[in-house]
């Protein structure tokens, strides 16, 4: 049975208590902390930068799963690597050379993630799948939390899983966007093994984070 990992999105956390929120997530069984970085340009929202990540790093030792929704992304990889990111995920549309950006992330001994928007085809990243650690399948268009899950991405997850198994690749398949108690099982059954969730983890069951994380690991 595959190990399910939960990466709660701090986009849904109380930003005035982020350190406490992260410690609570760790104590509640989170496997990673998902940090959404938005620049107001690549996506229509602004969030946190390297100084905040560096400040939060002291609250936990579990991996920071940092999703860079910024363009151009390449020149900022160093800053996020040095701020405490453990996994750096980028969008192929945000760099002039995906290979160079992959190499840059690896230079800092960080894990490499590539993200696919709902309308981005697997073929865009397929030749890099043997070099990376994670594929982040966006099941909403990035920019804001609380959006509804786009169901046709299930076919993309299934196809990625087929490619992974056929070639004995090692990358995680992570899914982010609209994950809730009604749809998470079909996402896992399609082949994902990492779930990103914000609203569901922080708000369901009267905010019982541990209960919500444990439920999302039940397939």
CA atoms within 13 A on the CB side of 207: 5
First to last CA, the chain: 10
Q: Determine the Cα–Cα distance for residues 162 and 178; give it in Å rounded to an integer.
A: 23
The count of other CB atoms within 10 Å of the CB of residue 151 is: 12
- C-alpha distances out from residue 200 to 28, 37, 191, 207, Å: 14, 20, 21, 9
Tell me, yes or no, if 36 is annotated catalytic.
yes
39 is catalytic: no
Please give the backbone phi and psi of residue 145, each rounded to the nearest 5 degrees, phi first: -80, 165
Report d(CA 163, CA 151) in Å as an integer.
20
Cα–Cα distances in Å, from 181 out to 6, 12, 18, 122, 143?
13, 16, 24, 27, 22
- Per annotation, catalytic residue among 31, 39, 172, 176: 176
Per the residue annotation, which of 36, 39, 65, 172 is the catalytic one? Answer: 36
Q: Token digits for 133?
A: 């650690």
Return the SS3 of 92. helix
> CB count, 10 Å around CB of 82?
13
Positions annotated as catalytic residues are: 36, 176
């Amino acid at each position: 049975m595959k190990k399910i990992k939960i990466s709660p999105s701090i986009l849904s956390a109380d930003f005035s208590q982020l350190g406490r929120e992260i410690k609570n997530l760790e104590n509640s069984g989170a496997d990673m902390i998902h940090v959404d970085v938005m620049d107001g340009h690549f996506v229509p929202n602004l969030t946190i930068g390297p100084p905040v990540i560096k400040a939060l790093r002291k609250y936990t030792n579990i991996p920071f799963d940092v999703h860079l929704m910024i363009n151009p992304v390449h020149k900022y990889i160093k800053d996020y690597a040095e701020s405490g990111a453990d996994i750096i995920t980028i969008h192929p549309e945000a760099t002039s050379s995906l290979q160079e950006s992959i190499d840059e992330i690896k230079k800092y001994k960080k894990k490499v993630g590539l993200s696919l928007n709902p309308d981005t085809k697997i073929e865009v990243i397929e030749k890099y799948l043997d070099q990376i650690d994670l594929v982040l399948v966006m099941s909403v268009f990035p920019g804001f939390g609380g959006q509804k899950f786009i169901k046709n991405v299930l076919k993309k997850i299934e196809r990625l899983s087929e490619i992974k198994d056929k070639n004995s690749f090692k990358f995680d398949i992570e899914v982010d966007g609209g994950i809730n108690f009604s749809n998470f099982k079909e996402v896992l059954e399609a082949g994902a093994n990492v779930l990103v969730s914000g609203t569901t983890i922080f708000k369901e069951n009267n905010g019982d984070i541990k209960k919500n994380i444990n439920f999302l690991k039940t397939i």
